[in-house]
Structure 1
């Protein structure tokens, strides 16, 4: 199960990074929203990518310090997906551009909402 969780986090790290990179790059493309048009949403996409990268790397290690880093990253992810998800419902005009955590991870099949709970369960079952 651990390998599956690490793989899921790795997929989300790559996916969130690619999405943020594409959205934030300054190269004008037809139909592409620029950073100046939606800085909050695009910054949140980049932040989610960093959180997923840190979680992936920490989950893949077995030290006590890596466990703590993974715990913090997964907790940040949980707060992020719930907070941003609620925020997108309250102020949808701020989120004209979709983010990984927007709508509680709606664009990703709500997996971003489920993944931190699974990650926390696994972390507490495998505490060093």
Structure 2
């Protein structure tokens, strides 16, 4: 049985990214947006000089998370493609920063959201973009009703 299609869903490309497993992704990305943004703002206000790179990277992660959340809520094929690109960039960032923090820990006197591949966040930062890309690719393969 197919999901009911609203006029706005049909206008956006025939599917709603925020339904089914997409709803969990919207929730998780929303939580990570708030967590990364809150963490970076507090750290930048209280002690920016201690680890500016780490705090700016956490703020950048928050922006990426916010854009992915927005794209998932918006739905449609254009938003799906934009979210795929952002998820790929997010995964690249997690892998780059994660590797950097393992190889050169002195470069990060304080942790970022992506430090040690997101270990401080139960590795969700490295799992989330992979899961989201799988969902977005699957959603793009669904036929329009």
Q: State the TM-score, normalized to the length of structure 2.
A: 0.80
Distance 1:9 1:61 in 2: 14
**Deviations, residues 5-37 of structure 1 (Å, cap 9, x unaligned):** 111111101110110111111x4xxxxxx2122
Where does residue 10 of structure 1 map in the other structure?
Answer: 30
Where does residue 71 of structure 1 map in the other structure?
Answer: 84
> In structure 1, which of residues 2, 8, 23 is the aligned counterpart of residue 43 of structure 2?
23
Distance 2:53 2:122 in 1: 22
> Where does structure 1 differ by over 2 angstroms across 4 or more consecutive aligned residues?
none
Any stretches of 5+ residues in structure 1 without a counterpart? 28-33
Matched residue count: 121
Structure with max Cα Rg: 2
Any stretches of 5+ residues in structure 2 without a counterpart? 1-20
SS in 1 for 2:49: helix
Distance 2:55 2:61 in 1: 10
Where does residue 12 of structure 2 map in the other structure?
Answer: none
Distance 2:35 2:66 in 1: 10
